[in-house]
């Protein structure tokens, strides 16, 4: 029987493509891609000729049985998404689950992932973290959603479009408190890669002063809840004193 390879691709910088990913994509019978045009562009860049099949949220119930039949018939299949690691806020979960249920071999081919990339360089605690994916689009739903993780002590990791960064920062401050450290990791591995760090209000001011920071792709990292219940209050007092100190002659 064939092998299902779950292949990570770059999140912006094509030099992050691994040698193993290139080898496997050039050897498999079929490449199941979230967006065949995006993947074709990637494959062309590396001079790889492959047979592509579209596999995305809207056709997966129709295409998955066909891919499973191909695997059963001994053909190897590689699953890729537009960027980064498949299944991580990208299609593939039901295919991998169905393949596992049938006892097929599923092999991960690791590479780029925006969440881990951001965490590795943000300077927030990395020993424990909670990956949350995309927040809901409306503010009231987002606040409820953030409220559910307010007590998590690990670093929170969110995916977001930079366009919505201001609105999300407002809600982060309102629900999790204004004293937590937040890191905005934008355009990772690309030309305008930027890390901005500060409390929600400081970051809002920086984004308003520089609208370029509201463009592109973004990972938001938020320091977890402080384990010391008095610490939040102490940080807030220090902040108020600092602001007063700056304002007074």
Distance set, CA 189 to CA 38, 83, 123, 195, 214 (Å) = 18, 12, 17, 11, 17
Query: Is-contact 35 13, C-beta < 8 A?
Result: no
Question: At its nearest, how many Å lie between ligand SAM and the CB of residue 79?
Answer: 12
- From CA 107, how far away is CA 164, in angstroms rounded? 35
Interaction residues for ligand SAM, span 16-75 (CB under 6 A): none
Q: Which residue lies nearer to ligand SAM by CB, 169 or 188?
A: 188
Stretch that binds ligand SAM, among 21-29, 86-94, 123-131, 169-177 (CB under 6 A): 86-94
- From CA 153, how far away is CA 113, in angstroms rounded? 23
Q: Which residue lies nearer to ligand SAM by CB, 1 or 22?
A: 22
Establish if 99 lies at the interface with ligand SAM (CB under 6 A): no
Secondary structure class of 106 (helix, strand, coil): strand
Question: At its nearest, how many Å lie between ligand SAM and the CB of residue 229?
Answer: 32
Q: Which residue lies nearer to ligand SAM by CB, 22 or 239?
A: 22
- The conformation of residue 124, written as its DSSP 8-state character, comes to S
Query: With CB under 6 A, what is the number of residues at the site for ligand SAM?
Result: 24
Establish if 160 lies at the interface with ligand SAM (CB under 6 A): yes
Select from 18, 26, 36, 89 the one that contacts ligand SAM (CB under 6 A).
89
Question: At its nearest, how many Å lie between ligand SAM and the CB of residue 80?
Answer: 10
Buried b (16+ CB within 10 A) or exposed e, 12-24: beeebbbeebbeb
Establish if 217 lies at the interface with ligand SAM (CB under 6 A): yes
List Cβ neighbours of 230 (8 Å cut-off, separation of 6 or more): none
Stretch that binds ligand SAM, among 49-57, 63-71, 155-163, 207-215 (CB under 6 A): 155-163
Distance set, CA 17 to CA 10, 22, 43, 45, 219 (Å) = 5, 7, 11, 11, 20
Q: Which two tokens stand for residue 93?
A: 């979960």
Residues lying near ligand SAM in the complex (CB under 6 A): 11-12, 81, 83-85, 88-90, 113-115, 159-161, 185-190, 217-219
């Amino acid at each position: 029987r064939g092998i299902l390879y779950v292949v990570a691709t770059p999140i912006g910088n094509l030099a992050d493509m691994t040698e193993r990913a290139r080898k496997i994509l050039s050897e498999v019978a079929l490449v199941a891609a979230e967006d065949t045009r995006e993947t074709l562009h990637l494959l062309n860049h590396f001079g790889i000729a492959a047979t592509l099949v579209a596999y995305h949220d809207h056709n997966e119930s129709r295409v998955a049985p066909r891919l499973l039949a191909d695997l059963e018939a001994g053909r190897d299949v590689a699953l890729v998404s537009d960027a980064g690691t498949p299944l991580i806020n990208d299609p593939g979960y039901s295919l991998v689950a169905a393949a596992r249920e049938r006892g097929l071999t599923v092999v991960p081919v690791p590479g780029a992932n925006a969440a881990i990339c951001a965490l590795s360089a943000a300077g927030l605690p990395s020993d424990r973290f909670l990956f949350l994916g995309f927040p809901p689009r409306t503010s009231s739903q987002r606040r409820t959603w953030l409220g559910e993780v307010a007590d998590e002590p690990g670093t929170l990791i969110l995916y977001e479009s930079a366009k919505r960064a201001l609105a999300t920062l407002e809600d982060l401050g309102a629900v999790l408190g204004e004293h937590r450290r937040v890191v905005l990791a934008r355009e990772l591995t690309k030309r305008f890669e930027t890390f901005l760090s500060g409390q929600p209000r400081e970051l809002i001011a920086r984004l308003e002063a520089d609208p370029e920071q509201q463009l592109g792709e973004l990972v938001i990292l938020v320091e977890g809840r402080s384990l010391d219940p008095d610490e939040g209050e102490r940080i807030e007092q220090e902040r108020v004193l600092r602001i007063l100190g700056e304002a007074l002659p």
